[in-house]
Amino acid sequence: MSEFALEVKGLTKKIGKQKKIVNAASFQVKHGEILGLLGPNGAGKTTTIRMIVGLIAKTEGKVFVNGKDVDEEGQQCKKDMGAIIENPAFYDHMSGYKNLQQYKRMAKEEIPTSRIEEVVKLVKLEHAIQDKVKTYSLGMKQRLGVAQAILHKPTLLILDEPTNGLDPQGIRELRDYLKILANQGTSTLVSSHLLSEMQLMCDRVAIMEHGKIIDISPISALNDVGESSNVTSFTVSSTDQAITLIEQGDLEIEIMKTADQSIILKTKRENIPIVNRLLVENNVDVYAIETVKTTLEDRFLQLTAVGAENKGTGGEE
Ligand SMILES: Nc1ncnc2c1ncn2[C@@H]1O[C@H](COP(=O)(O)OP(=O)(O)OP(=O)(O)O)[C@@H](O)[C@H]1O
Ligand SMILES: [Mg+2]
């Protein structure tokens, strides 16, 4: 077995002579993993995904599906992939079941009829599968889209913003069946601009901004505060005084934020009582010391803020 379900190397899309809307993106999806591609609107997620599935040409770079080069073994790679990009198109006047049947007939390989029942059950569409698609809600269409994408048992599933327009219940259900598929060995690449969602759905997240992958981290690393870099909030009588004292003290401390009555510091755990003593001994009252959980959102904003600062060197080269 190849090392990765999907490997993307230096993927680039140039528009015109200058503009790189995807700029040397590299990442991998491990077998059975759900990798999130997270980025704000216009980051280049859809363009990246369209190049991976072959809907648009790459300018530069390589894509390997289960170790196979899409440029050399395109047909085999297509068999290995299932994708939903933008809204899947259906025959509205036909039932969900008939749509799947139609899709099965058009598939390049033989798909047993029993597979239709199987996927319908997985996406929980049994109750409505005989109804016409025009009567479906957005969430139901989306489930039918997933059913269609996995009908030929792809080992790699690629979903572009699959939760768009879904209600919280729909999002939870999508998450549940993506996890079931992952447990059965399906690897997934899923894009989103919503951080909270990625946090619950993915094993790792690749953050994209201005066409570049600026960070890839396991969700656990993004959720954990980590021993070596505690983020701690001090509620004090005077933030100005506290900052001056902390800056004068020869400690490795990063002052992340200040609010009306509190300052947020990033420092080693052993520095917390030292800061406390420093403040109290210099007549700054301390009302509270709290650990701040850095969420993926903080991390994302931090990273994309850096990205924005470097904007000039980003998209255009
Ligand atoms: N064919 C094209 N010609 C010119 N510019 C394009 C083209 N396709 C995309 N772009 C631009 O490239 C950038 C990336 O677009 P893309 O759709 O990949 O972003 P995205 O991350 O999917 O955004 P969203 O979250 O809004 O879906 C955008 O600034 C977009 O305007
Ligand atoms: Mg998009």
Tens of pLDDT, residue by residue over 164-173, are 878 888 888 8
pLDDT band at 224 (very low <50, low <70, confident <90, very high): low
Say if residue 316's pLDDT is above 80.
no
Q: Are residues 170 and 266 in the same domain?
A: no
Mean pLDDT, residues 219-234 taken together? 66
Per-residue tokens: 105? 């007939």
Ion ligand 2: residues, CB < 5 A: 45-46
* Domains contained in the chain, number: 2
Rounded-to-integer distance, Cα 103 and Cα 1, Å = 29
Q: How far, in Å, from the CA of 45 to the mean position of ligand 2?
A: 5
**Do residue 264 and residue 116 come from a single domain?**
no
Residue 69 has pLDDT above 90, yes or no: yes
At residue 114, the 3 state secondary structure works out as: helix
| The overall pTM is greater than 0.85 | no
Same domain, 17 and 38: yes
Q: Do 77 and 124 sit in the same domain of this protein?
A: yes
Residue 186 belongs to some domain of the structure: yes
Percent of the chain exceeding pLDDT 90 equals 60
Q: With a 6 A CB cut-off, is 125 part of the ligand 1 pocket?
A: no
* Residue 315 domain flag: no
Residue 302 in domain: no
- Residues 216 and 79 placed together within one structural domain of the fold: yes
Ligand 1 center from residue 211 Cα (angstroms) = 9
Same-domain status, 185 and 125: yes
In a domain, 308, yes or no: no
Q: Are residues 89 and 152 in the same domain?
A: yes
CATH code, 264: 3.30.70.980
How many separate helices (H) and strands (E) can be counted in the chain? Answer: 11, 14
pLDDT score recorded for residue 73 = 95
194 lies in some domain: yes
Contact 35, 206 (CB under 8 A): yes
Distances (CA, A) of 93 to 20, 102, 267, 311: 41, 13, 61, 48
Asked whether residue 211 is assigned to any structural domain, the reply reads yes
User: Quick one: 68 and 201 in the same domain?
Assistant: yes
Is there a single domain that holds both residue 124 and residue 209?
A: yes
Domain boundary among 223, 247, 263: 223
Q: 246: Cβ–Cβ under 8 A, 6 or more apart, which residues?
A: 253, 255, 263, 265, 275, 278
Pocket test for ligand 1, best of 47, 49, 58, 316 (most atoms within 8 A of CB): 47
Q: Are residues 63 and 98 in the same domain?
A: yes
Same structural domain for residues 215 and 239?
A: no
**CA-48 nearest atom, ligand 1:** 18
Cβ-in-10-Å burial (0-12, 13-18, 19+) of 272 comes to middle
Residue 29 sits in which domain range?
A: 4-223
CB atoms under 10 Å from CB of 226, counted, come to 13
Q: For residue 3, what are the CA distances in angstroms to 36, 53, 64?
A: 19, 19, 11
Mean pLDDT across the chain: 88
Report the distance separating Cα 299 and Cα 16, nearest Å.
Answer: 33
Place of tokens 């549940």: 176
Which token pair is 267? 């420092």
Maximum CA extent, the chain: 79
Of 156-170, 220-234, 297-311, which range is least confident?
Answer: 297-311
Summarize the confidence of residues 211-222 as an average pLDDT: 84
Give me the residue label for tokens 């994302």: 300
- Inform me whether the pLDDT recorded for 179 exceeds 60: yes
- State how far the Cα of 59 lies from the Cα of 42, in Å rounded to an integer: 18
Asked if residue 154 and residue 279 are part of one domain, the reply reads: no
Q: Identify whether 303 is part of a domain.
A: no
23 lines ligand 1 (CB under 6 A): no
* CATH number of residue 202's parent domain: 3.40.50.300
Which ranges in the chain belong to alpha helices (H)? 45-53, 74-80, 96-106, 114-122, 138-150, 168-183, 195-201, 219-223, 239-248, 271-281, 296-309
In angstroms, how far is CA 11 from the centroid of its own chain? 18
- The reply to whether 298 falls in a domain is no
